[in-house]
Amino acid sequence: MKNMLSNPLLPGFYPDPSICRVGDDYYMVTSSFSYFPGVPVFHSRDLAHWEQIGHVLDRPEQLPLSPDDISGGIFAPTIRFHDGLFYMITTNVSVGKNFIVTAEKPEGPWSDPHWIEGAEGIDPSLFWDVDGKAYYTGTGQMQDDRGTRQAIWLSEIDLESFALVGERTFIWGGSLSEPAWPEAPHLYLINGYYYLMIAEGGTEHFHSETIARAEHVKGPYHSYRGNPILTQRHLGMNADIANTGHADLVQCQDGSWFMVFLASRPYGGYHKNLGRETFIAPVGWEDGWPVVSPGTGRILFSYEGPNLPEYKVPELPAKDDFESEKPGYVWNFLGTPDDSLIKMEDGFLKIRLHERGLRPDENAPTGEGSLQNPSSMGFLGRRQQHLSFRTAACLAWRPKEAQTAGLTVLQHGFQQIRLELGCREDGQTVVRALRCYRSLDVSLIHKKERGAYQEEVLREIPWEKEETVLVIRAEGQEYTLLAAGRDGEEIPLCTVNGGFLGSETAGGFVGTYIGLFASGNGKSYDEYVPFDWFSYEPLS
């Protein structure tokens, strides 16, 4: 029986997918940037239905992060299986190094990182040749008669010592005479040819996937005349699926081929609040070259899948009552948390009133190799996965002084819509709606200066109720903020356009998170804010 494949395959912020098949089982990982735990792992048996089975990086010693650079952290993991062992190779750009972890089972436990000395660049991948030799591919700066430019390099790697062996060889600079950002290399040996597939054009509108092949692993590699094999840039700014690229290939048991890749769904204008999501498309082969989405030339929202039995996956509940001992796989911290950050007890999620507010540290270093000390903040969130949704959180708590807690819709750079309980200077408890941003102007995407960070109070109302339910309802780009008490009567505060949460204004590489937070806003308290429940459900 053939199941229908629905795009996006993994909705919400799941970029840079990598896939491998082991027998009848398929495993997939994606980037996680500065969210912890890192590198979610998914399992399927039919390519259509996927269940998260864990995270590769779920221990603080594996994943040093800071919340200051939300688009730092983990870039572009690759998952592979060889000789009874799973390998995941990736970049922690905040540390400025590449590393490998291994596991006997994809759900873990995974090893501590094996840092690879001398492995410059980002987006590493692994490949095993028929003679058993393992090879590392990555990005680096190549120098030739055209000057210095980014290109893909290859080196043998010893996976006992996790050390590069011998000289590195630059094998391809991309399909164009002036390629932009050739990266994300994956090597495959198919029908006697070595295929090198890479991303080009940057990860936004001009993103694409290209391919070359060679008769020997070290080349020379010859570009396919039909490149790019995947892109949506030629469809213009009004296409309903945008910036396709950063792909990986998998062959099914029935001999069919499929490609997973990242893409985005713009809505309410050219805004991509959900970030880069995981999509899938069938692949045919003609004259020894892959053809993606044969016969259409564009990516569709549904395809016929391989001839495999349906894989049953349990549906996630809309409401979390916090009855478990630790947060489920859907939840993430921002940065590397310590043991005191949250407690789950008595049916409550309790978040410590962290000294830091939910805003950027203007003095913190950012960029490659910027991490000084792993840290976190009083935040626990999950991905926005739908264009329209309703989310709510219940807390029985009264703030004092500068304390705040509540619900936020958060993007890169702490661009956010926030609904919180707080206090006025006279001690009056209020519910407050805020819009926080550096810029609301989409035309500033290519400008380095986007203005100072601002927190704009849209409305605040006095609040005397002992129990508070904070509600955010999004219908496309219109986000309505409401508050209710035990009686359930919802009081609307305001409606705000959320287009500024897209990557064009927020910048960065992540997608929107919906989070619970608690803060002392400059003062540390040995106190916790109890959240009774949280809900998230799509709106039709």
N-terminal to C-terminal alpha carbon distance within the chain: 29
Residues 6+ positions from 295 with CB-CB distance below 8 Å: none
Cα 133 to Cα 218: distance, rounded to the nearest angstrom: 13
* Residues with catalytic function: 16, 183
Q: Single out the residue of 354, 362, 316, 363 nearest to residue 335, CA to CA.
A: 354
Nearest partner of 515 among 443, 429, 436, judged by Cα: 436
Nearest to 201 by CA among 157, 242, 148, 147: 242
Number of other CB atoms surrounding residue 472 within 10 Å:
25
Burial pattern 316-328, b for ≥16 Cβ within 10 A else e, equals eeeebebeeeebe
Q: Which residues contact 2 (CB under 8 A, 6 or more apart)?
A: 304, 305, 306, 307, 308
Phi, psi of 444 (to 5 degrees): -90, 10
Residues 6+ apart with CB under 8 A from 418: 358, 406, 407, 408, 409, 432, 433, 434, 435, 436
Distances (CA, A) of 238 to 266, 276, 477: 8, 17, 16
Q: What helix, strand, coil percent values describe the chain, rounded to 5?
A: 5, 50, 50
Question: Using the 8-state DSSP alphabet, how is residue 112 labeled?
Answer: P
**Residue 501 backbone dihedrals phi, psi, to 5 degrees:** -85, -5
